[in-house]
């Protein structure tokens, strides 16, 4: 597929980009190369490939959920600039 200057103008307008004539010519070639690569990818058979969300399988390592010793409320609030006895007091930011 050959990208035209009008198509580059259209895409640059969508992206709110002000391109010089040299940039338009440069991007015309680059966009054409991208579409040629997409044609190459389209020609690859994916009949026996399971759909996936990404190219790498992701997993979240989980640790055992155990109750462990932690700070008491008094210790956690000891260095707080302001507290009400059981909670931190912070400035109101939403009216």
- Look at residue 46 and tell me whether its pLDDT is greater than 70: yes
Q: Which domain holds residue 20?
A: 5-42
H-assigned helices in the chain = 5-14, 21-42, 73-77
- Helix 21-42 with 5-14: angle, nearest 10 deg: 90
The predicted model scores a pTM of: 0.48
Q: How many domains does the structure of the chain reveal?
A: 1
- CATH number of the domain enclosing 14: 1.10.20
Residue 78 maps to a domain? no
3-state class of 79 per DSSP?
A: coil
**12-43: pLDDT as tens digits:** 999 999 999 999 999 999 999 999 999 998 99
Q: Which two tokens stand for residue 71?
A: 């700070």
- The candidate with the shortest Cα–Cα distance to 6, out of 26, 28, 22, is 28
């Amino acid at each position: 597929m050959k990208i035209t200057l009008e198509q580059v103008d259209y895409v640059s307008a969508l992206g709110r980009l002000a391109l010089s004539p040299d940039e338009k010519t440069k991007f015309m070639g680059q966009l054409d190369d991208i579409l040629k690569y997409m044609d190459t990818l389209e020609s690859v058979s994916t009949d026996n490939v399971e759909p996936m969300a990404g190219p790498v399988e992701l997993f979240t390592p989980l640790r055992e959920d155990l109750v462990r010793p932690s700070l008491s409320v008094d210790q956690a609030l000891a260095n707080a600039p302001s507290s009400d006895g059981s909670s931190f007091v912070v400035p109101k930011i939403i009216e």
